[in-house]
Amino acid sequence: MKSAATIHMATILVGLTISPSLLALDQSIEHIRGDQSRQLLGDGTGVVVGVIDSGIDYTHPAFTNLTTDGKSKKYAAKNFVPYESSTNDVAGHGTAVASIIASNDPNHIGLAPDAQLLNARVLNNNNGFNNGQWVGNGIAYAVNNNADILNLSLNYASPNSNGNNMLDLMLDWAAYERNTQVVSIAGNIQSSYTQVRSPGSIYNGFVVGRTTADFSQVHSNSANAYTQDGRMKPDLVAPGTNITIANDDHEYQNDYHYNSAYGTSFAAPHVAGLLAQQLEFGRANNLSTSNMVTKVTMMNATLHINDKTGNLQKPATAFTQGGVYTVTKPLSVDAGAGQVDGINLYNQYAPGEFGPGSVNSIGWDLNETGVANNSHVEYIINAPLELDSELAVTLNWLRKVTRTDNGNSIVDINDTYTYYDLNNLDLQILKDGNIIAQSISIRDNIEQLRINIDDENAQYSLRVFGKSVGHTPESFAIAWSAVAIPEPATLTLLLALSLTATARKNRKNC
């Protein structure tokens, strides 16, 4: 058990560039199929997203319309910059971020246009903060006001990524105790420092890098692994180059309600917006919205992307020994698990939860019973898998962080946050009862495996192994996805449908 209770002064910058005019087509949401998933998962109704940033200009057309249930887009707002009084956005950064998440302007619809926005202003007019307490106060405000999702498109300018400063502890506590969904940026490379910086070093949330303008690979300026304590970050990547964003100076530039911007600051809100969609769907369909579940389903649903070198992403460290494919650093240094995809997320999440034992080829489980030390939990896929298809599996558990109130009965930066050593779980894939692949990181609370199926007649199963677990079993979430071979009856039906469609087409062409 270890404790940290002070915030250190630091000069902090936010990585972004905003152009003076609209330079890019609004393609990012379409590319990650967030517009399609919005029709399937939902548009964020009933979800509150906390934007901890430079403020929000609620007079912008992106936020002036009511939600479908008649609520204002403005859920709550407060300023935490000591020498300023307004929650309005002078720098333009927070307004831009918020529009990607939740714009309901018909001319530029965000990922979750029906979500409400909590505005915690923590950045000054120069788009920075001189004291971590500003950000800590904004986090506390959002948590005290029950924000479902926190988006932090900001970070320290200097190296600070061991996961144990006050901001990281507050965020990990909020995720652990309050089930808050936390999204942070990996950061932009500056001063030749390429690694992620706090709060991009959190354990219990999403850390997001950015891709290039054509969405094909990780941008060279996106910060990457490792944290100072050797963990894999980012968790995943999203579009963050030439992104259409709301212009906070719209009152004076009538022809330019929207600008274009780039930076990891604008990748993170793509993830926050997808989360808002997912939370609405989960609540409406009585599915778990645990942040462990959202993390494994979104990370397992990513698409492969090229890293900064132009090569297809791969785990940082992997090898085959004794016939067992072994991953010790499970994510890509640049891309994490890959680029987010809304339709894949729906396909991964919507099938629902399966307990241990026999499971379908696509699904997930929130296992709150947990796994004890030197024991395992197993999931046996109940159908043969298609030859040469991919089996993807992702495992997540939380770092435990507790809070001791300072006596005022509200969450704030004067509380004491205590973190505990992380339990160590391993992920294994078995074929006919024999281990063929394993993800065995000793530092991360994410394990991930992706393998190609080489035997369509084999029985595949997934195993969560308690490598080093304390006295209490460790709760976890796991998601898996594979292509099952259709049963003969299904094949007959598909063939009949195909023949019918062909006959109709032939008649039409006669």
Q: Active-site residue numbers? A: 53, 93, 265
C-alpha 429/C-alpha 415 separation (Å) is 42
CA-based nearest residue to 437, from 446, 425, 449: 449
Euclidean distance between CA atoms 205 and 185, whole angstroms: 11
Q: What is the DSSP string of 359-373?
A: E-SEEEEEEEEEE-T
| 214-250 residues labelled b (16+ CB within 10 A) or e (exposed) | ebebbbebbbbbbbbeebbbbbbbbbbbbbbbbbbbb
Beta-carbon neighbour count of residue 333 at 10 Å?
Answer: 22
Hey, how many other C-beta atoms are within 10 angstroms of the C-beta on 419? 21
Evaluate whether 165 touches 8 at the Cβ level (below 8 Å): yes
Euclidean distance between CA atoms 44 and 258, whole angstroms: 22
Identify whether 199 is preceded by a cis peptide bond (ω within 30 of 0). Answer: yes
Q: What are phi and psi of 48, to 5 degrees?
A: -110, 125
> C-alpha angle with apex 380: 378 to 385, nearest 5 degrees?
140
List of residues 6+ apart from 231 with CB closer than 8 A: 163, 201, 203, 225, 443, 444
Q: Please provide residue 424's backbone torsions phi and psi, each rounded to the nearest 5 degrees.
A: -120, 115
Distance CA 239, CA 267 (A): 5
Say if residues 96 and 261 touch (Cβ distance below 8 Å): yes
- What gap in Å lies between CA 16 and CA 175, rounded to an integer? 27
